[in-house]
Amino acid sequence: MKNAFFFGYGSLVNRSTHIYTDAHPASVRGWRRAWRHTDLRGVSFLTVVPDADCTIDGLIAGVPGDDWAALDEREAAYGRVPVSDHVDHPLPQRPEIAIYAIAAPNHHSPTDAHPILLSYIDVVLQGYLREFGTRGAQRFLDTTDGWHAPVLDDRAAPQYPRHQLLTSAERAFVDDALTGKRVTRRKA
């Protein structure tokens, strides 16, 4: 891809987790987030699945030198899918944009053996709160499937490699959101 950008919809929305400085709020039509697991990882994480009736917010960011190697390594369980014609963004040019998604036959619903890490949820919601405010973070919650999944409370010893410290307000938002979704939490 020339003039390449990616569309981030999870931890990549949190600018503290990456070095991609040419980043802009955006939205993509035709996709919905879902918590899933694969045989490539021991825990569940976000992917996107096609949904013609859904639009999700996120960030687009330029891939320096069109060199995807570092990003592909970070997103190793995913494949790149072109979405340029479905992304609304503030840029005057029309860059080529890809979204990372796990192919449908390669992912499954979360289980007790493959929980979601609370430290990962913290990072994602912190990013949405900072980029889109509380309404945007609530839209994230509403346009993400799989909240029935068990959540491993690893805040005391975060397992997510790009974990971040949350402010007390961010932490309260996450905790209230999970309570509202009736998420089952268990201690690490």
104-117 confidence digits (pLDDT tens): 888 988 888 899 99
Beta bridge partners of 47: 34
d(CA 103, CA 81): 10
At 159 the three-state DSSP class reads coil
- CB-side exposure of 131: number of CA atoms within 13 Å? 29
Query: Residues 146-165: what's their mean pLDDT?
Result: 95
- The string of pLDDT tens digits covering residues 31-78 is 999 999 988 788 999 999 999 999 999 999 999 888 899 888 888 888
Closest of 50, 44, 14, 3 to residue 29, by C-alpha: 50
Query: For residue 13, how many other CB atoms are within 10 A of its CB?
Result: 29
Q: Identify the domain containing residue 112 by its residue range.
A: 4-187
d(CA 187, CA 111): 15
Q: Which ranges of the chain would DSSP assign to H, the alpha helix? A: 69-74, 118-142, 168-180
Q: Say which CATH number the domain at 130 has.
A: 3.10.490.10
The average confidence (pLDDT) of the chain is 94
Q: Which residue type, as a one-letter code, is found at position 31? A: W
Closest of 15, 5, 20, 19 to residue 88, by C-alpha: 5
Counted domains in the chain: 1
